[in-house]
Amino acid sequence: MKNINATIIAAMLMLICGTAYAQSAQQQRLTNHVYFLASDSLRGRDAGSTDAAKAAAYIAQQFEEIGIEPYFEGGWYQGFEYAGRSCKNVVGIIHGADTALKHELIVIGAHYDHLGVSKNGKIYNGADDNASGTATIIEMARILKDKPLKRSVMIAAFDAEEKGLHGSVALAKRLDVSNVKLMMSIDMVGWLHKGKALQLNGAATIMDGKTLLNQTARRMQLKVDVRNFETSLITATDTRSFARKNVPTLAVTTGLKSPYHKPEDDAELIDYEGLDQITNYLAEVTEQLANAPDLQASGRIAPVHSDSRRAFSIGPTASVVKGRIAFPDAAFDGRSRYGFEVGIVAQLRLIKHLSLEAKVLYAHHNAKLPNANNLYNSYLPLHQEAVMVPAGLLLRMADEFGIDLYCGLGGYYGRVLKASISGQPTAAINTNQYGLAWSVGMEFGRLRMGCEWRYQLNPLFVGEGMPNAKHRTAVFNVGWMF
């Protein structure tokens, strides 16, 4: 307790000494919330820790004092397990008054967990990330509680965001998401002074979203940067858990201006005047959304949120191919040359982490053959034009931050259409080629990129007296899955 008191006294002193202008009572409360949540005594609010539980208790106590109601029957907390720890979201509700619309929800969320303490004892206080957003939703609740609202507004403080959005996933699972008209995640909003404008990502997920957000900002004299969709993969936030269930989402942030995921992300660096303005603005926007006669989803979801693991997907792919001819029985070897492939890739999901993948590719492969007259210093260009069909099983790894990693194992068949050596057509090349293929890669939303290696098993050359040779290829590919 001693530490907490010291922090509060420090905060008070800062307020008294460092403030020349008149602060609103709300700005003072925002400051107090951030200083408490980002104090050393909360030790970085690591998900599911006793420190995070202190933060959760603080948030619940604030909700209680403000006079909003717990959403769940059992109280303020929605408990869930993550990595053997019991984590909890703090969830309150402001009930709408319109009989036809009150079952519809606008979810206002912010994660309150952060990274805890490093191995060498450094505390990640996470003032911007995300004591700032947590403070904002507390004060938004206070404003909205006294407004006449038609739709209901849920205020949710999430645990275990930093570990992979687990809190918001748990909440999205518990709700009937067809009633959620918009989910707004407020994550890192404490650096308006350096970011210059408040970023609102996802305006195109609802009808007329851009107009509403811009007009309100103009009226309230807040600089905003309204974007149609979220694009960042690195800073994926709790919107993802709802967007993946086709709920319109808005991610609100002042950007990556603070010492992101560093121990220096401290309370004294936060722009509290900006935080105050942002709180007023977001409360106003929420009120308008809650009362809009017609609040409709546009049906568009950010590509970074689209679930790449649908049952069946297909799309174009293009590759750069490095080809080489190996002579397993000889002391000499071929040299590599580049070629390309274009075609389509199709995937069928078998079970959660396993897919079947097949490609049909039109390929131009090149390599350099050793010249029989001067084995080590002179090479002849080999060119093959072929239809390649690689197919196999793809094992997918966790997609914690919207990135699916995969590795694949299978085989390929190639039908050679034309072949030439030093520009002269040749019949010495086997027209039917097959072998093993393996791959690794990743998918972000619909974009995929990866590497594939192919290892020919049957002979490259046909005919008497030809050396044993195998085609080896390394492929770098990019693709887009629809």
Residue 158 vs 272, nearer CB to Zn ion: 158
User: What are 280's two structure tokens?
Assistant: 């007023």
The least CB distance from residue 129 to Zn ion, in Å, is 4
Answer yes or no: are the C-beta atoms of 341 and 299 closer than 8 Å: no
Residues 334-363 that bind Zn ion (CB under 5 A): none
Count of other CB atoms within 10 angstroms of residue 190: 32
Nearer to Zn ion, 175 or 189 (CB): 189
Chain centroid offset of residue 262 CA: 20
How many chain residues touch Zn ion (CB under 5 A)?
3
CB of 286 to Zn ion, least distance (A): 20
**Shortest Cβ distance from residue 475 to Zn ion (Å)?**
37
Q: Please, what is the minimum distance in Å from the beta carbon of residue 366 to Zn ion?
A: 48
**Angstrom distance (rounded) from CA 41 to CA 56:** 14
Placement of tokens 């905060």 in the chain: 11
413 burial level (CB within 10 Å; 0-12, 13-18, 19+): middle
Of residues 115 through 154, those in contact with Zn ion by CB under 5 A are 129-130
Cα 47 to its chain centre, rounded Å, is: 19
Minimum distance from residue 65 beta carbon to Zn ion (Å): 25
CA-to-CA distance for 108 and 92, rounded, in angstroms?
10
Please spell the DSSP secondary structure of 123-189, one letter per residue: B---IIIIIIHHHHHHHHHHHHHTS--SSEEEEEEESSSTTTSHHHHHHHHHS-GGGEEEEEEE---
Q: Which CB atom, from 159 or from 187, has the smaller least distance to Zn ion?
A: 187
265 touches Zn ion by CB under 5 A: no
- CB closer to Zn ion, 129 vs 452: 129
The amino acid at 248? P
Q: How many CA atoms are closer than 13 Å to the CA of 380, on its beta-carbon side?
A: 14
- In the complex with Zn ion, which residue's Cβ is closer, 168 or 308? 168
Task: For the CB of residue 167, give the shortest distance to Zn ion in the complex, in Å.
Answer: 11
Q: Closer to Zn ion at the Cβ: 152 or 253?
A: 253
Instruction: Tell me the three state secondary structure of residue 212.
Output: helix
**283-322: contacts with Zn ion (CB under 5 A):** none
Nearer Cβ to Zn ion, position 126 or 343?
126
Nearest residue (CB) to Zn ion, 128 versus 443:
128
Give min distance, CB of 110 to Zn ion, in A.
8
CB of 441 to Zn ion, least distance (A): 27
Minimum Å gap between C-beta 159 and Zn ion is 12
Q: Looking at beta carbons only, is 232 or 426 nearer to Zn ion?
A: 232
CB of 101 or CB of 165, closer to Zn ion: 165
Q: Which one, of 151, 133, 153, lies nearest residue 143 by Cα?
A: 153
What are the respective helix, strand and coil percentages of the chain, to the nearest 5?
25, 40, 35
Give yes or no for a contact between 380 and 393, defined as CB atoms under 8 angstroms apart: no
Q: What's the min distance (Å) between Cβ of 56 and Zn ion?
A: 16
The alpha carbon of residue 240 and the mean position of all alpha carbons in its chain are separated, in whole angstroms, by 7
State how far the Cα of 123 lies from the Cα of 104, in Å rounded to an integer: 40
Binding positions for Zn ion, 453-482, rule CB under 5 A: none
Residues 170-209 that bind Zn ion (CB under 5 A): 187
Contacting residues toward Zn ion, per CB under 5 A: 129-130, 187
